[in-house]
Amino acid sequence: MFAILAFAALAADPALPALPALPSAAEDPVKPYVQSNTNAGAIPFAGKGMWHAFHGKAGVNRIVDDLVDRNVKDPTIGEIFAGIDLVRLRRVLKEQFCYILNGGCTYTGRPMKTAHTDMGVQMKDMNVLVGNLQKAMTDEHVSFFAQNRLLAKLAPMRRDIVTR
Protein backbone atom coordinates (compact mmCIF):
# COMPACT_ATOMS: atom_id res chain seq x y z
CA MET A 1 0.00 0.00 0.00
CA PHE A 2 2.83 2.38 0.88
CA ALA A 3 4.45 1.76 -2.53
CA ILE A 4 1.24 2.73 -4.31
CA LEU A 5 0.90 5.91 -2.26
CA ALA A 6 4.55 6.79 -2.81
CA PHE A 7 4.20 6.26 -6.56
CA ALA A 8 1.03 8.37 -6.62
CA ALA A 9 2.81 11.15 -4.73
CA LEU A 10 5.76 11.05 -7.12
CA ALA A 11 3.51 10.98 -10.16
CA ALA A 12 1.66 14.04 -8.91
CA ASP A 13 4.86 16.06 -8.35
CA PRO A 14 5.02 18.65 -11.18
CA ALA A 15 8.76 19.13 -10.62
CA LEU A 16 9.42 15.59 -11.83
CA PRO A 17 9.34 14.72 -15.53
CA ALA A 18 6.36 12.78 -16.73
CA LEU A 19 6.56 9.20 -17.80
CA PRO A 20 6.40 8.80 -21.58
CA ALA A 21 2.98 9.72 -22.84
CA LEU A 22 1.00 6.98 -24.41
CA PRO A 23 -0.52 7.72 -27.79
CA SER A 24 -3.96 9.17 -27.28
CA ALA A 25 -7.08 8.06 -29.07
CA ALA A 26 -6.88 11.41 -30.88
CA GLU A 27 -3.64 10.39 -32.63
CA ASP A 28 -3.61 8.83 -36.06
CA PRO A 29 -2.10 5.34 -36.21
CA VAL A 30 1.41 5.02 -37.63
CA LYS A 31 3.27 2.07 -39.11
CA PRO A 32 5.04 0.01 -36.44
CA TYR A 33 8.66 0.94 -35.70
CA VAL A 34 11.29 0.21 -33.09
CA GLN A 35 11.06 2.76 -30.29
CA SER A 36 14.41 3.99 -29.06
CA ASN A 37 15.87 7.13 -27.55
CA THR A 38 18.35 7.11 -30.44
CA ASN A 39 15.42 8.06 -32.68
CA ALA A 40 15.47 11.49 -31.00
CA GLY A 41 18.45 12.39 -33.18
CA ALA A 42 20.75 13.74 -30.48
CA ILE A 43 22.54 12.74 -27.29
CA PRO A 44 21.11 14.41 -24.17
CA PHE A 45 22.93 17.19 -22.36
CA ALA A 46 24.80 16.20 -19.22
CA GLY A 47 23.39 17.42 -15.93
CA LYS A 48 20.19 19.33 -15.32
CA GLY A 49 21.36 22.83 -16.26
CA MET A 50 19.69 22.89 -19.68
CA TRP A 51 16.49 21.34 -18.32
CA HIS A 52 16.31 24.14 -15.76
CA ALA A 53 17.23 26.79 -18.37
CA PHE A 54 14.12 25.73 -20.31
CA HIS A 55 11.99 25.89 -17.14
CA GLY A 56 11.40 22.15 -16.90
CA LYS A 57 8.37 20.33 -18.16
CA ALA A 58 6.07 23.36 -18.08
CA GLY A 59 8.54 25.45 -20.09
CA VAL A 60 9.13 22.72 -22.68
CA ASN A 61 5.37 22.24 -23.05
CA ARG A 62 4.86 25.97 -23.62
CA ILE A 63 7.73 26.16 -26.12
CA VAL A 64 6.51 23.18 -28.15
CA ASP A 65 2.89 24.34 -28.16
CA ASP A 66 4.01 27.83 -29.24
CA LEU A 67 6.31 26.37 -31.91
CA VAL A 68 3.62 24.14 -33.40
CA ASP A 69 1.08 26.99 -33.38
CA ARG A 70 3.56 29.33 -35.09
CA ASN A 71 4.46 26.75 -37.74
CA VAL A 72 0.85 25.92 -38.56
CA LYS A 73 -0.02 29.63 -38.94
CA ASP A 74 3.19 30.57 -40.76
CA PRO A 75 2.41 31.59 -44.37
CA THR A 76 5.74 30.19 -45.57
CA ILE A 77 5.65 26.70 -44.03
CA GLY A 78 2.08 26.25 -42.79
CA GLU A 79 1.13 24.00 -45.69
CA ILE A 80 3.76 21.45 -44.63
CA PHE A 81 1.75 20.93 -41.44
CA ALA A 82 -1.65 20.72 -43.16
CA GLY A 83 -1.81 16.92 -43.18
CA ILE A 84 0.18 16.32 -40.01
CA ASP A 85 -1.24 14.70 -36.87
CA LEU A 86 -0.72 17.71 -34.60
CA VAL A 87 -1.66 15.78 -31.43
CA ARG A 88 1.12 13.27 -32.08
CA LEU A 89 3.53 15.99 -33.24
CA ARG A 90 3.11 17.94 -30.00
CA ARG A 91 3.55 14.80 -27.89
CA VAL A 92 6.70 13.52 -29.59
CA LEU A 93 8.30 17.00 -29.80
CA LYS A 94 7.76 17.43 -26.05
CA GLU A 95 9.32 14.01 -25.48
CA GLN A 96 12.22 14.81 -27.81
CA PHE A 97 13.00 18.16 -26.18
CA CYS A 98 12.63 16.66 -22.69
CA TYR A 99 14.95 13.78 -23.61
CA ILE A 100 17.61 16.02 -25.22
CA LEU A 101 17.46 18.56 -22.37
CA ASN A 102 17.99 15.67 -19.91
CA GLY A 103 14.60 16.02 -18.29
CA GLY A 104 14.32 12.28 -17.70
CA CYS A 105 11.87 11.50 -20.51
CA THR A 106 11.84 8.68 -23.00
CA TYR A 107 11.45 9.48 -26.70
CA THR A 108 8.83 7.29 -28.36
CA GLY A 109 8.77 8.93 -31.79
CA ARG A 110 10.08 7.62 -35.07
CA PRO A 111 13.61 8.26 -36.35
CA MET A 112 14.02 11.71 -37.90
CA LYS A 113 14.54 10.42 -41.43
CA THR A 114 11.47 8.16 -41.27
CA ALA A 115 9.29 10.83 -39.66
CA HIS A 116 10.12 13.38 -42.38
CA THR A 117 10.07 11.15 -45.47
CA ASP A 118 7.96 12.55 -48.30
CA MET A 119 7.39 15.90 -46.56
CA GLY A 120 9.51 17.76 -49.11
CA VAL A 121 11.17 20.00 -46.54
CA GLN A 122 13.60 22.46 -48.10
CA MET A 123 16.42 24.33 -46.38
CA LYS A 124 14.41 27.57 -46.51
CA ASP A 125 11.56 25.77 -44.68
CA MET A 126 13.99 24.58 -42.02
CA ASN A 127 15.28 28.13 -41.58
CA VAL A 128 11.73 29.42 -40.98
CA LEU A 129 11.07 26.62 -38.50
CA VAL A 130 14.29 27.44 -36.60
CA GLY A 131 13.26 31.11 -36.51
CA ASN A 132 9.88 30.10 -35.07
CA LEU A 133 11.62 27.95 -32.47
CA GLN A 134 13.86 30.86 -31.50
CA LYS A 135 10.80 33.10 -31.05
CA ALA A 136 9.09 30.44 -28.90
CA MET A 137 12.22 30.04 -26.74
CA THR A 138 12.61 33.82 -26.41
CA ASP A 139 8.97 34.17 -25.35
CA GLU A 140 9.69 31.53 -22.68
CA HIS A 141 12.66 33.67 -21.52
CA VAL A 142 15.24 31.00 -22.33
CA SER A 143 18.66 32.65 -22.43
CA PHE A 144 20.35 33.22 -25.78
CA PHE A 145 23.20 30.97 -24.62
CA ALA A 146 20.85 28.07 -23.78
CA GLN A 147 18.95 28.56 -27.06
CA ASN A 148 22.18 28.30 -29.04
CA ARG A 149 23.25 25.17 -27.17
CA LEU A 150 19.97 23.44 -28.04
CA LEU A 151 20.08 24.63 -31.65
CA ALA A 152 23.61 23.22 -31.95
CA LYS A 153 22.28 19.82 -30.79
CA LEU A 154 19.39 19.96 -33.25
CA ALA A 155 21.33 21.28 -36.28
CA PRO A 156 22.76 17.93 -37.48
CA MET A 157 19.19 16.60 -37.83
CA ARG A 158 18.73 18.77 -40.91
CA ARG A 159 20.48 16.03 -42.92
CA ASP A 160 17.56 13.72 -42.14
CA ILE A 161 14.80 16.34 -42.35
CA VAL A 162 15.67 18.43 -45.41
CA THR A 163 14.95 16.31 -48.46
CA ARG A 164 14.87 18.82 -51.33
Taking only the tens place, the pLDDT of each residue in 134-159 is: 999 999 999 999 999 999 999 999 99
What whole-number distance in Å separates Cα of residue 54 and Cα of residue 77? Answer: 25
The predicted model scores a pTM of: 0.82
CATH superfamily of 38-161: Globins (1.10.490.10)
Q: Tell me whether residue 142 is exposed, middle or buried, using C-beta atoms within 10 angstroms of its C-beta: 0 to 12, 13 to 18, 19 or more.
A: buried
Report residue 124's pLDDT band, with 50, 70 and 90 as the boundaries. Answer: very high
pLDDT at 9: 38
